Every structure is written in structure tokens, then in C-alpha cells.
Structure 1
Amino acid sequence: MYNPTVARLTYRGLLGRRRALVLFALPALLLVISAAIRVLTGADDETATTVLGGFALATMVPLIGVIAGTGAIGPEIDDGSVVYLLAKPIDRTTIIITKLVVAIGVTVAFSAIPTLLAGFILNGNSQQIAVAYAVAAAVASVAYSAIFLLLGTVTRHAVVAGLVYALVWESLFGSLVAGARTLSVQQWALALAQKIAGEGAITADVGLPLGATLLLGATIGATWFAARKLRTLTLAGEE
């Protein structure tokens, strides 16, 4: 269910010059902001949760997920080059699984690791806040990668749709509208962060059992639909 050749080509496409600039820019911005806040205000748990929750988990992680998830397959479908991949004797489910693994790896590397470093900069991991948000970023990365990979297979405007979801639903409605929070990957991941962090340090609007179930369901469901969609694509000359 994993093809090294497909993985290598996907990594090469994702880490091309333009995408790499954005992928590096967001974590770098988080680290610069964290360092500046630490210098100006000192270590503070509330400030750390504000930065890690408000910028890292709510904004940076879904944006990187958009770049990695849609970029893993969307451009190949848009420019038609996916036909060369589909013409190979590789099961199409294997193609989706491989691209998902690559997207998850890229998203975790560029979101969870910087989140952990930013947490240590902000408050030295007091109350396990840095670790909690890093783990939340990692599990959210899995769900986001699957969701945005699915978008890359179903629409030519996957990046736009992904940005709308990430910036409008997750960052805006997910932060301001109580009902929307229960349908937010951010809140599902926060349920795990709340469990890891010290008592009262992090709050989530979704309980851990429900959050874990929804994360798993979203990941499996999006992956299944993406594989199904790819199987429906036909090459010229196919019956």
C-alpha cells in the first residue's frame, strides 16, 4: 500500500521552490513571533496558549495542510500529468495512500516540530503546553492532509476551497461560533492537548473520546473517498 517511486515524485513536487518558500515561511514566522514575545514579556503560560492555539494550531497547521494535501495530487490532475501515473501498473488506492503518507510527513514536519520549538521558546514547556500543542498539531496534520488530499481529487479549485475552509471555517467560525467548534479539526485535536497539558491550561469544546473518533473518521472517510474518486478517473482509450 506504499510505493517509493510515487512517494519520491510527490516529495519532489511538494518541496519545489514556490511551495517550499511558503512551507518554510509560516514556521519561521511562528518562531520569530515567539522569540519576540518571550523577549518582551517573558515566560507566561497564558501567552503561550494564545500564540500556540491562535496562530500555530488555528492558522499555521491548516494552511500547511492545504499546501501539502492539495499539492500532493491536485497539480497532477490539473495539468493532466496524472495520466502517466495512472497508466502504470500501480493500484490507485496505493497511489492515494502513498500521497497521503507524504502529505502527512510534510505537514507534521513543518507544523508540529515548529509548534514544539515555539512552545519551548514561549514558556519552556511549563505545564506541558509545548508538548500538548505539538501533539495536537501532529494529529490535526493527519486529518487535514486527508481532507485536503480529497479536495485535490474532486475539484480543480482545491487550494481556494482549502483556504476557505482553513481561514473561514477553522480560524474564524471555529474560534467565534460555539456550534461550529464541534465540527472543527482544531477542536478535535485540542481535546488531546487538553488531556496532555496541566489541569486548566488548555480547554477544548469537544471531549477526548468524541474528538479522537471524529479525527479518525474524517481521516479514514476522506482517504476512502479520495481513492474512490481516483479509481473513477479513466485514461484515453480505456473502456
Structure 2
Amino acid sequence: MYDPTVARLTYRGLLGRRRAVILGALPVLLIVISLAVRGFSGADDQVAADVLGGFALATMVPVIGVIAGTGAIGPEIDDGSVVYLLSKPVKRPAIIFTKLIVAIAVTMVFSAVPTLVAGLILNGNGQQVAVAYTVAALVASIAYAAVFLFLGTVTRHAVVFGLVYALVWEALFGSLVEGARTLSVQQWALAVAQKVAGGDLVTSDVGLPTAVILLAAVTAGATWYAGQKLRRLTLAGEE
């Protein structure tokens, strides 16, 4: 299923000079904020949880997921170059699966790694806060990459819709409207983090079994629909 050539081309597209700068901006900002907070307030478990939950998981991870997920396939569809890729002897499911793996890997590297570093800076992993939020970032990266890859196959405005979801639904409604929290990747990831950390510093409004089921369902469903969309796109091009 995994195609090295497709992966290499996708990595090259995602990690080009301009997109790499964009991907690296939020992690750098997180590290700077963490250094400043540690300098002013010292090591504090609650402050660490607030920074990692309020900025890293609520903003940085979904935005990076938008950039990586939509960028893995969206530009190729927009400029028509996907036709050349689809004309190669590569199965369509392999194309989607490979691009998903690349998007997940890029999202994880640019979100989970700086989350761990920031957590260690803030409180040295006191009460497992750094590790818990790193696990949450890893888990969320998978679902975000799948959802935003799917968006990249269905609309030319995938980045806009992705940012609306990430910054309006996840960050705003997901934190203010109780019912919306159940339909939030952030809350699902927090449920996993809560299990890792224990205690009261990391909490979620969604139970762990429900969170795991929803994460798996959304990831699988988005990947399947992306494959179906790519298949219809191919048929339309051949006609």
C-alpha cells in the first residue's frame, strides 16, 4: 500500500522552503512562549497544562494538521498535476494511504516534538503533563491529517474550511459549547492524555472508550471517502 515514490514527492511538496517556514512558525512560537513563562513563573504544573492545552493542542496541532493534510494532495488537484500521478501504475488506495502516512508524519514531527520540548521546559514533565500532551498531539495528528487530507480532495478551499474547523469549531465552540465538545478531535485526544496523566490537570469531556472509537471512525471514514473522491476524479479525467 505504501509507495516510496509518492511519499518522496509528497514530502518534497510539503517541506518546500515556504511551507516549511509556515510549519515551523508555531512550534518556534510555542518554545519561545514556554521559555518566557518558565522564566517569569518558574516550574508550575497547572501553568504547563494551561499552555500546552490552550496553545499547543488547541491551536498549533490542528493548524499544522491543516497545512500538512491539505498540502499533501490539495495543490496537486488544484493545478491538475494529480492527473500525471494517477496515470502512473500506482493503485489509487496506495496514493491516498501514502499521502496520509506522510501527512501524519509531518504533523507529528512539527506538533508532538515541540509539545514535548515545551512541556519539559515548563515543568520538567511534572505529573506527566509533558508526556500526556505529547501523546494527545500524536493521537490528534492522525485524525487531523485524515480529515484535512479528505478536505483537500473535495474542495479547492480546503485550507479555509480547515482553519475554520480548527480555530472556530475546535478552539471556540469546542471550549465554550458543551455539546460541541463531544465532536471535537481535541477532546478525544485529551481523553487519551487524561489516561496517561491521571489526576486533575488533564481532563476531557469525552470518555476514553468513546474517544478511541470516534478517533478510529473519523480517521478510517475520512481516508475511505478521500479514496472514493480520488477514484471519481480519475474517472472524470479519463472521460
Fold match (TM-score > 0.5): yes
Gaps of 5+ in 1: none
Q: Is 1:73 paired with 2:73?
A: yes
What's the CA shift for 1:199?
Answer: 1.2
Residues 237 and 73 from structure 1, CA distance in 2 versus in 1: closer, same or farther, beyond 3 angstroms? closer
Q: Which residue of 2 aligns with 1:55?
A: 55
More displaced 10-residue stretch of structure 1: 148-157 or 13-22: 13-22
Gaps of 5+ in 2: none
Q: Which residue of 1 aligns with 2:190?
A: 190
What's the CA shift for 1:84?
Answer: 0.2
Alignment of 1:145-160 (within 5 A): 145-160=145-160
Structure 1 distance, partners of 2:169, 2:55, is 15
SS of the residue corresponding to residue 234 of structure 2 reads coil
1:56-97: CA deviations, max 9, x gaps?
000000000000000000000000000000101111110000
Q: Is the 8 A contact 2:191 2:203 kept in 1?
A: yes
1:140-191: CA deviations, max 9, x gaps?
0000000000000000100000010000001111111111100000000000
Structure 2 distance, partners of 1:88, 1:112, is 34
Q: Which residue of 2 aligns with 1:35?
A: 35
Q: Percent identity?
A: 75
Letter in 2 for 1:67: I
Q: Which residue of 1 aligns with 2:200?
A: 200
Letter in 2 for 1:105: A
Q: Is the 8 A contact 1:83 1:235 kept in 2?
A: no
Structure 2 distance, partners of 1:18, 1:62, is 19
What's the CA shift for 1:198?
Answer: 3.4
Residues 71 and 45 from structure 1, CA distance in 2 versus in 1: closer, same or farther, beyond 3 angstroms? same
What's the CA shift for 1:18?
Answer: 1.4
Q: TM-score, normalised by structure 2?
A: 0.98
Structure 2 distance, partners of 1:114, 1:237, is 41
Letter in 2 for 1:130: A
Letter in 2 for 1:230: L
Q: Is 1:220 paired with 2:220?
A: yes
1:110-141: CA deviations, max 9, x gaps?
00010011000000000100000000000000
Q: Which residue of 2 aligns with 1:125?
A: 125
Q: Which residue of 2 aligns with 1:92?
A: 92
Q: Is the 8 A contact 2:83 2:237 kept in 1?
A: no
Q: Is 1:172 paired with 2:158?
A: no
How many corresponding residue pairs?
239
Letter in 2 for 1:126: G
Letter in 2 for 1:231: R
* Over 2 Å off, 4+ runs: 234-239
Q: Is the 8 A contact 2:100 2:146 kept in 1?
A: yes
What's the CA shift for 1:236?
Answer: 7.3
Q: Which residue of 1 aligns with 2:138?
A: 138
Structure 2 distance, partners of 1:108, 1:236, is 34
Instruction: Report the aligned-residue RMSD.
Output: 1.0
